[in-house]
Amino acid sequence: MAAPMLRFVTVPQGMPEKRAAESRRHDFGEIYAEYAPAKAEEQAGRCSQCGVPFCQIHCPLHNNIPDWLMLTAAGRLEEAYEVASATNNMPEVCGRICPQDRLCEGNCVIEAAGHGTVTIGSVEKFVTDTAWERGWVKPIRPALERAQSVGIVGAGPGGLAAAEQLRRKGYQIHVYDRYDRVGGLLVYGIPNFKLEKTIVERRAAWLGDGGIKFHLECEIGRDITFAELRRRHDAVLIATGVYKARDMQAPGSGLAGIVQAMTYLTASNRKGLGDAVPEFESGKLDADGKHVVVIGGGDTAMDCVRTAVRQGAKSVKCLYRRDRENMPGSMREVKHAEEEGVEFVWLSAPEAFDGKAKVQTAIGHRMRLGARDSTGRGAPVKIEDSTFRLPADLVIKALGFDPEPLPVLFKAPELAVTDWGTIKIDRRTLMSNLDGVFAAGDIVRGASLVVWAIRDGRDAAASIDRYIQAKAANAGITAAAAE
Ligand SMILES: Cc1cc2nc3c(=O)[nH]c(=O)nc-3n(C[C@H](O)[C@H](O)[C@H](O)COP(=O)(O)OP(=O)(O)OC[C@H]3O[C@@H](n4cnc5c(N)ncnc54)[C@H](O)[C@@H]3O)c2cc1C
Ligand code: SF4
- Return d(Cα 368, Cα 158) in angstroms, integer: 38
Q: Which atom of ligand 2 is nearest to the CA of 454?
A: 1
CA distance 68 to 218: 39
Say what the pLDDT of residue 27 is. Answer: 58
Q: What is the pLDDT of residue 327?
A: 86
Give the DSSP H or E segment for 360: strand 359-372
Give the closest ligand to the alpha carbon of residue 244: 1
What pLDDT, on the 0 to 100 scale, is given for residue 3? 35
Q: How far apart are CA 321 and CA 248, in angstroms?
A: 13
Calculated CA dihedral for residues 80, 81, 86, 91, nearest 10 degrees: 120
Looking at residue 41, its pLDDT comes to: 85
pLDDT digits (tens, 9 = 90+) for 110-139: 888 888 899 999 999 999 999 999 999 999
Model pLDDT for residues 390-442, shown as the tens digit of each residue = 999 999 999 999 999 999 999 999 999 999 999 999 999 999 999 999 999 99
pLDDT at residue 18 in the model:
41
State yes or no: pLDDT of 13 exceeds 80.
no
Q: Could you give the CA distance from residue 243 to residue 266 in angstroms, rounded to a whole number?
A: 12
* 369 vs 86: CA distance, rounded Å: 45
User: Hey, which residues does 238 pair with through a beta bridge?
Assistant: 153, 439
Atom of ligand 2 nearest to the CA of 61: 4
Confidence class for position 38, pLDDT limits 50, 70, 90: confident
Q: Could you report the per-residue pLDDT of 19-30, keeping only the tens digit for each?
A: 444 444 455 544
State the Cα–Cα distance between residues 453 and 88, nearest whole angstrom: 11
Whether the Cβ atoms of residue 175 and residue 77 lie closer than 8 Å to each other: no
Cα gap 405→449, rounded to integer Å: 21
Tell me which of 240, 244, 294, 300 to substitute to probe ligand 1's pocket, judged by most ligand atoms within 8 Å of the beta carbon.
Answer: 240
Distance in angstroms (rounded) separating the CA atoms of residues 110 and 116: 6
List all residues 6 or more positions away from 258 whose beta carbon is below 8 Å from its beta carbon.
252, 353, 359, 395, 397
Q: Any idea which ligand is nearest the CA of 443?
A: 1
Query: How many percent of the chain have pLDDT more than 90?
Result: 81
The pLDDT score that the predictor gives to residue 14 is: 40
Under a CB-based contact definition with an 8 Å cutoff, are residues 473 and 178 in contact?
A: no
Q: Which of 114, 121, 13, 3 is nearest to 58 (CA)?
A: 121
Average pLDDT on 360-378 reads: 92
Residue 318 confidence (pLDDT) above 80: yes
Between vectors from CA 427 to CA 422 and to CA 428, what angle results, nearest 5°?
150
Q: Tell me which of 101 and 204 has the higher pLDDT.
A: 204
This prediction's pTM: 0.92
Give residue 475's pLDDT: 87
Would you state the pLDDT for residue 153? 98
Confidence of residue 36 (pLDDT cuts 50, 70, 90): low
Q: Which of 153, 190, 401 to mutate to test the pocket of ligand 1 (most atoms within 8 A of CB)?
A: 190
Mutational pocket test of ligand 2: of 43, 93, 94, 129, the residue with most ligand atoms within 8 Å of the beta carbon: 94
- CA distance linking residue 106 with residue 55, whole number of Å: 8
Of all ligands present, the nearest one to the C-alpha of 100 is 2
**Nearest-angstrom CA–CA distance, 8 and 335:** 22
Is it the case that residue 12 has pLDDT exceeding 70? Answer: no
Question: With left for phi above 0 and alpha for psi between -120 and 50, is residue 184 left, alpha or beta?
Answer: left
Residue 307 has pLDDT above 50, yes or no: yes
CA distance 228 to 305: 42
Show the 3-state SS of 451-472: HHHHHHHHHHHHHHHHHHHHHH
Q: Which residues contact 255 (CB under 8 A, 6 or more apart)?
A: 353, 355, 357, 358, 359
Alpha-carbon distance of 346 to 19, in angstroms, equals 22
Give residue 23's pLDDT.
45
pLDDT reported for residue 65: 96
For residue 469, the CA-to-ligand 1 centroid distance in Å is 30
CA 153, 159, 163, 165 torsion: positive or negative? Answer: negative
Mean pLDDT score across all residues of the chain: 91
Residue 26's pLDDT is what? 55
pLDDT at 193: 95
Contact 196, 29 (CB under 8 A): yes
pLDDT of residue 477: 59
Distances in Å between the alpha carbon of 185 and those of 162, 179, 211, 266, 280? 16, 10, 23, 9, 19
Angle between helices 261-272 and 299-310 (to 10 degrees): 50
Per-residue confidence band for 43, with pLDDT thresholds at 50, 70 and 90: confident
